Amino acid sequence: MGEKFRIAIAGASGYAGAELVRLAAAHPCFTITAVTSEKSAGQAVSSVFPSFKGIVDHQFEALAPEALTERADAIFLALPHTKSQDPVAICIKAGKPVVDLSADYRLKDVDIYEKWYHAPHGHPQLLRDAVYGLPELHRTAIAKSKLVASPGCYPTAAILQLAPLFAKGLARPETIVIDAKSGVSGAGRSPALSYHFPEAHESLEPYKIGQHRHTPEIEQELSGLMDDVGSVTVTFTPHLVPMNRGILSTAYCKLVQPMQLSDLRDLYREFYRGERFVRLYEDIVPNPRYIKGTNYCDVGVYMDSRAGWVVTVAAVDNLVKGAAGQAIQAMNLMLGIPEDTGLTAAGSYP
Amino acid sequence: MGEKFRIAIAGASGYAGAELVRLAAAHPCFTITAVTSEKSAGQAVSSVFPSFKGIVDHQFEALAPEALTERADAIFLALPHTKSQDPVAICIKAGKPVVDLSADYRLKDVDIYEKWYHAPHGHPQLLRDAVYGLPELHRTAIAKSKLVASPGCYPTAAILQLAPLFAKGLARPETIVIDAKSGVSGAGRSPALSYHFPEAHESLEPYKIGQHRHTPEIEQELSGLMDDVGSVTVTFTPHLVPMNRGILSTAYCKLVQPMQLSDLRDLYREFYRGERFVRLYEDIVPNPRYIKGTNYCDVGVYMDSRAGWVVTVAAVDNLVKGAAGQAIQAMNLMLGIPEDTGLTAAGSYP
Amino acid sequence: MGEKFRIAIAGASGYAGAELVRLAAAHPCFTITAVTSEKSAGQAVSSVFPSFKGIVDHQFEALAPEALTERADAIFLALPHTKSQDPVAICIKAGKPVVDLSADYRLKDVDIYEKWYHAPHGHPQLLRDAVYGLPELHRTAIAKSKLVASPGCYPTAAILQLAPLFAKGLARPETIVIDAKSGVSGAGRSPALSYHFPEAHESLEPYKIGQHRHTPEIEQELSGLMDDVGSVTVTFTPHLVPMNRGILSTAYCKLVQPMQLSDLRDLYREFYRGERFVRLYEDIVPNPRYIKGTNYCDVGVYMDSRAGWVVTVAAVDNLVKGAAGQAIQAMNLMLGIPEDTGLTAAGSYP
Amino acid sequence: MGEKFRIAIAGASGYAGAELVRLAAAHPCFTITAVTSEKSAGQAVSSVFPSFKGIVDHQFEALAPEALTERADAIFLALPHTKSQDPVAICIKAGKPVVDLSADYRLKDVDIYEKWYHAPHGHPQLLRDAVYGLPELHRTAIAKSKLVASPGCYPTAAILQLAPLFAKGLARPETIVIDAKSGVSGAGRSPALSYHFPEAHESLEPYKIGQHRHTPEIEQELSGLMDDVGSVTVTFTPHLVPMNRGILSTAYCKLVQPMQLSDLRDLYREFYRGERFVRLYEDIVPNPRYIKGTNYCDVGVYMDSRAGWVVTVAAVDNLVKGAAGQAIQAMNLMLGIPEDTGLTAAGSYP
């Protein structure tokens, strides 16, 4: 296999971080050299996540970004929003490729970042260099970049299900409704009443209606596809559903002119031709249960011609294509290895 | 308590039928005299549903509509679609008040019925007499009627969450998107692969996109509120979610003119003033877990003013306000007893 | 209905407390006059539990036991273990009947209490007057008592499934294995990692193996049935299962002499003859789904004659027969009203 | 990588079969040449299991054992009980190594087979050659065998959690109680009322008490460890729990003489030293959530010295170590490749 890249994962005691550890541990070109966690520093990874017993021998350590850059050839940061700004800058300064899973470098417009995240941005100049880490849209730029901001889980589904329509100028931007549903792991690993089992089970919770922070990412990318920044404003409603993993996003839009469903599907096929991680569905409808543990984004396009709406459905595993898997996909590109390395295993079913 | 009404429940081995038995057994003015089921005829109700052991002593019998009319003062029919046409006619001929839980008498336009249900209607003249059994919209007509067609589970939520907007002419009819999510009991009690536990668990399934049969009910009622039959065409996407009971409906619409959220909420409050079974939410968002086992429809109105959408959320228990409870609410009106009789218990939590 | 008893419920922001509120609100002889909660004092009950919106108008208040005794004819205390010792004493001093849902007055032997609960008992003399609130075993004593200690959820199932064997001296006391499984509401409403949805879902957790505090209650009561205190030592393993409500207890024992299954079942039938809340099963096996929201304890007796074991299965709703319902059943006895008042509704299914 | 073994999988449209396909597709030394299914013959594997879309290109075909032997170097049979007898014989006659996942060749005593499976055995002479496919107990024999009968899911957990005690003669054979809990995928993929989502969710179902067909396997293997066939009779109670995957087995036994827990744990460590797929737990208790999708059997040993019982807990993924993974582990041995080939990926969490 040749020499392996030394990999550091910061913020690895959350679910996305643990998923990075899982995928990196099985990645044929990676060898993990450091995993950090503020709250679990000093503990064995396998005592926090017994699933790693016998597989991952590391201990969590506290984050020391400078030191980390010396022990790793490539760095994943899965830190909370706003906490990633400085560590990214330190890694970049050290010349190491970074995939940042937080929102800190996703939004090109610093004002929009500061408005939605209620925090100043300490490195606005780095935002210019950061690439939004959705390989299906930005493959070439990712491959050339040192700093990739990995997309949010909801935006991954929402952008991929709508991208072909926007790229071709077919969608009426003012008609976009995105109704998304996520498993509870999307809320992270910190206990709170909303995620307490008896509250979240036999429950279905819309939240942050019209106010979720993933909204501006979606708008940035869809606008970008139209070459018209700021031209798209979507309404986005996330819901918490009683399952562990998976996002299902149902997006509605009207077309600028009538189309046949078959033509629309041809257009999607063309747009995603050769994409390893986008699967297009017709008779079967995408469902999170088909993509558990995998890096796929499954997309289906349907038409309610009676009512005049296109309905697209996308499913991702929020922790893989919606987080850790996509981050590795981008890093593979940055490191010049095949894009799907370490990401080819089938999902378990059921 | 005075004399009780003798009640027959046909089709009681499904979930909606069992819920009718549960509620009727505890109803202070009802005494159950017959429960029918083709597939369980001859078995004790409590052997099919052990939850009734010690509470309901009846046996299931095969359906014989004429005979039934002699043993009951009021009749609930929870039969499959198309199977209810004749039994309803027989009960009506016998002069007995009927609440029909099937779709057979919900649609005023027989052509629309035949198109969506792929079956002829044998009693189109009876359609004219039938009242759509949503008391919040048709209370007076229900009270005077002998034949009430109880609404579908999804339409109950969808109509109630949108009715005030349509009644006031505020909604732009071409902008209505209804994204609804249902627990699996909504699919009935017949086993099939889609509802097999390992398939339906950790799963989220959109189905019948743009083609669900509850769509024309919603359009009929919203059009009716505008006094303009046929004027409303909605896109409706149901989803199956891994919970037993409950529907959450998220509906999107644009207004004919901008409004303040507070004014909109005032309008809902006014529209539903005095309604026993509609609860309006503001800070807390409706969630099926708050209405389990109850006849409430919880409604919340939110505004994404940035994107120009009104987002309404409604929650019902698909087997109560979406089926058995609403049927009893209507029957109470038809029998001249207080509308909430037998429907006042709080839901269990969690 | 005549005059109603004024009821106070202390510790009502937990799940057992909320269930007391639900059942008391529908109880024909009760009127709630006070509900307390330290952490939610000042909030409306219906804002903490939206399920009560439109049904329960009270506000939570801080607990002031003396004042409470003046505003209530009967008092339920659903406080944490060790926190109930003094409030009980105050209520008793004021002459008001008390059902205490904590463990503080369940164990007759103060040493055993202090050993298992790691706390001194401030009112050992009151322990002598307290009655263990399992009506099926202590009906007469409960009816005469002012202080009833309501059993734990696991012991309710375990004792009722084994009582006939011990009462008749048929069980070999050294062979008792109790393997019990509980829904997560049994762990209370305080969030913690073990009950965080993604951890508790698709999970099955044995805990406190051989060390659960409900063990001495079981031993006390089974020993008592043999008139030989201290003669029974059981091994008890609780498990957390991914459901909201319900306990299933599977208990194993060997008999002092061989018996026919039919004779054993006759013995159970005789023992529980006339018991309103114990249902005996044969072909169907008890399952928490048959008793949701109800005060039943369903019991089934089976025999593995090949291996020489009697296997008994019991199901209760941990929040009803395992907590609030049983407390009301006892209070009904204490107040001289029919034992099943307010406890007769069928469980919802599914 | 060298030449790959051509692999046939018969009965691949069930859950265990699909798991064989998943693991075989990722196995570095396997290439799948045929997958069979009677009911799905002619359909693409990826249309029956969309999770395989883009990964597995095969079509299901009808089973033709002779033809299969020509197209495969090694054969997995995941057929229903009794249906595997002849296909196994045909494969053996053709000289191809077979791992049979049915029960048809697990029991050495043909009378016991015929009694528990209510069917004659057509190839009793082959039973003598068959090896029970639990590598931790029969590694050498498996490696030399052409016919391996892969253990049932429950026995895998039960035998491994008790084996050290029996191998050392420490357990009192008449005291063994095995209380096991399984996710619903263990019941297979054919819909039935018991596995219908609304019935199996919020449900906990003991079944086949003292009568489950996995019992004689457990007794055969534990007796074998004592070198005293027929000496062990266990009582075994399986339960269906509302999760997709995973078995948790809680087994109770008394010792022939008192021991310290630390000595007992040393004994387990010694017994399982070097075993790749048995992980021993102490403070953390085994839980199916730690082994999802993996070939581990996690085992914990605890002692209730107060009551005089040893309590052991084992967790397996019923579809991996309890079926497909264990079958591959055995086949690896039979083919002379490293035992853990294709079985090293960490489980996903959560």
Greater confidence (C84 vs C3) lies with: C84
* CB contacts < 8 A (A, B): 153
Q: What is the pLDDT of residues A319-333, one digit of tens each?
A: 999 999 999 999 999
Q: Are residues B92 and B239 in the same domain?
A: no
Q: Closest Cα partner for A60 from A13, A6, A5?
A: A13
Phi, psi of B313 (to 5 degrees): -125, 130
In a domain, A97, yes or no: yes
Q: Give the integer Cα–Cα distance in Å for C289 and D201.
A: 8
Local mean pLDDT, 10-residue blocks, chain D (350 residues): 88 97 98 97 98 97 96 98 97 97 98 97 96 98 98 98 97 97 98 98 98 98 92 97 98 97 98 98 98 98 98 98 98 98 95
Query: Is the full-model pTM beyond 0.95?
Result: yes
CB contact under 8 A, A197 and C15: no
In a domain, D340, yes or no: no
Q: Are residues D45 and D58 in the same domain?
A: yes
Q: What is the pLDDT of residues C49-94, one digit of tens each?
A: 999 999 999 999 999 999 999 999 999 999 999 999 999 999 999 9
Chain A: give the shortest CA distance to residue D170, in Å.
Answer: 28
What are the CA-CA distances from residue C58 to residues A72, C48, C53 (Å)? Answer: 60, 11, 10
Confidence tier at C229 by pLDDT (50, 70, 90)? confident
D153 is catalytic: yes
Residue type, C275: E
pLDDT of residue B3: 86
Q: What is the pLDDT of residues C7-54, one digit of tens each?
A: 999 999 999 999 999 999 999 999 999 999 999 999 999 999 999 999
pLDDT of residue A229: 83
In a domain, C231, yes or no: yes
Q: Which residues of B are catalytic?
A: 153
Chain B: give the shortest CA distance to residue C47, in Å.
Answer: 8
pLDDT of residue B2: 65
Chain B: give the shortest CA distance to residue A145, in Å.
Answer: 33
Q: Report which DSSP code applies to C202.
A: T
Burial of B4 (0-12, 13-18, 19+ CB in 10 A): middle
* Per-residue pLDDT at A28 exceeds 80: yes
Interface residue of D22, D47, D53 to substitute, partner A, most A CBs within 10 Å: D53
Q: Are residues D265 and D180 in the same domain?
A: yes
Q: Which residues of C touch D210 (CB under 8 A)?
A: 302-307, 309, 311
Q: In CATH, what number is assigned to the domain containing residue B164?
A: 3.30.360.10
pLDDT of residue C138: 98
Q: Are residues C224 and C115 in the same domain?
A: no
Mean per-residue pLDDT, C313-331: 98
Q: Are residues C145 and C222 in the same domain?
A: no
- Cite the DSSP H helix spans in D85-214: 85-93, 110-117, 124-129, 135-144, 153-167, 197-200
Q: Are residues B146 and B165 in the same domain?
A: no
CB contact under 8 A, A191 and C189: no
H helices, E strands: number in chain C? 12, 14
How does the average pLDDT of chain A come out, rounded? 97
Interface residue of D309, D310, D312 to substitute, partner C, most C CBs within 10 Å: D309
Q: Give the integer Cα–Cα distance in Å for B248 and A74.
A: 44
Interface residue of A45, A48, A53 to substitute, partner D, most D CBs within 10 Å: A53
Q: What is the pLDDT of residues A135-181, one digit of tens each?
A: 999 999 999 999 999 999 999 999 999 999 999 999 999 999 999 99
CB contact under 8 A, C241 and D292: no
Phi, psi of A280 (to 5 degrees): -100, 135
Q: Give the integer Cα–Cα distance in Å for A249 and C5.
A: 52
In a domain, A342, yes or no: no
pLDDT tens track of chain B, all 350 residues? Answer: 568 999 999 999 999 999 999 999 999 999 999 999 999 999 999 999 999 999 999 999 999 999 999 999 999 999 999 999 999 999 999 999 999 999 999 999 999 999 999 999 999 999 999 999 999 999 999 999 999 999 999 999 999 999 999 999 999 999 999 999 999 999 999 999 999 999 999 999 999 999 999 999 999 999 999 988 888 999 999 999 999 999 999 999 999 999 999 999 999 999 999 999 999 999 999 999 999 999 999 999 999 999 999 999 999 999 999 999 999 999 999 999 999 999 999 999 99
What are the CA-CA distances from residue C246 to residues B189, B350, C177, C180, D250 (Å)? Answer: 22, 11, 20, 11, 20
Out of D202, D246, D307, whose CB is closest to C289? D202
Apex CA A209: angle with CA A205 and CA A210, to 5°?
160
Q: Which of D91, D153, D253, D297 is catalytic?
A: D153
Q: Are residues B294 and B175 in the same domain?
A: yes
Q: Which residues of C touch A243 (CB under 8 A)?
A: 201
Q: Are residues C26 and C73 in the same domain?
A: yes
Q: Are residues B163 and B145 in the same domain?
A: no
pLDDT of residue A3: 86
In a domain, C347, yes or no: no
D308 and chain C in contact, CB less than 8 A: yes
Confidence tier at C230 by pLDDT (50, 70, 90)? confident
In chain A, the residue whose alpha carbon lies closest to the alpha carbon of B245 is: A202
Confidence tier at C3 by pLDDT (50, 70, 90)? confident
* Per-residue pLDDT at C1 exceeds 60: no
Q: Are residues B158 and B109 in the same domain?
A: no
Which residue has 């199956």 as its token pair?
Answer: B240
Q: Are residues B306 and B164 in the same domain?
A: yes
C290 and chain B in contact, CB less than 8 A: yes
Which residue has 């989220």 as its token pair?
Answer: B204
* CB contacts < 8 A (A, D): 96
In a domain, C201, yes or no: yes
Chain D: give the shortest CA distance to residue A30, in Å.
Answer: 14
Q: What is the pLDDT of residues C266-305, one digit of tens each?
A: 999 999 999 999 999 999 999 999 999 999 999 999 999 9
In a domain, B42, yes or no: yes
> Domain range holding B143?
5-150+323-335
Residue type, D296: Y
Give the contacts of D30 (CB within 8 A, at least 6 positions apart).
D4, D5, D7, D24, D342
Q: What is the pLDDT of residues A225-272, one digit of tens each?
A: 998 888 899 999 999 999 999 999 999 999 999 999 999 999 999 999
CB contact under 8 A, B201 and D196: no
Residue type, D294: T
Chain A: give the shortest CA distance to residue B255, in Å.
Answer: 13
Q: Are residues D269 and D135 in the same domain?
A: no
Q: In CATH, what number is assigned to the domain containing residue D43?
A: 3.40.50.720
D306 and chain C in contact, CB less than 8 A: yes
B112 and chain A in contact, CB less than 8 A: no
D305 and chain A in contact, CB less than 8 A: no
pLDDT of residue C243: 98
In chain C, the residue whose alpha carbon lies closest to the alpha carbon of D292 is: C202
Q: Report which DSSP code applies to C107.
A: -
Q: Closest Cα partner for D195 from B199, C282, C180?
A: B199
ipTM of the complex: 0.97
Q: Closest Cα partner for D285 from D152, D161, D154, D155?
A: D161
pLDDT of residue A2: 65
D residues 237-266 closer than 8 Å to C (CB): 237, 239, 241-246, 248, 250, 252
Mean per-residue pLDDT, C312-320: 98
A190 and chain D in contact, CB less than 8 A: no
In a domain, C78, yes or no: yes
What are the CA-CA distances from residue A62 to residues A91, A102, B279, C314, D275 (Å)? Answer: 16, 18, 49, 49, 33
As a whole number of angstroms, the longest Cα–Cα distance in chain D is: 61
Structural domain tally of chain D?
A: 2
* Per-residue pLDDT at A1 exceeds 80: no
B281 and chain C in contact, CB less than 8 A: yes
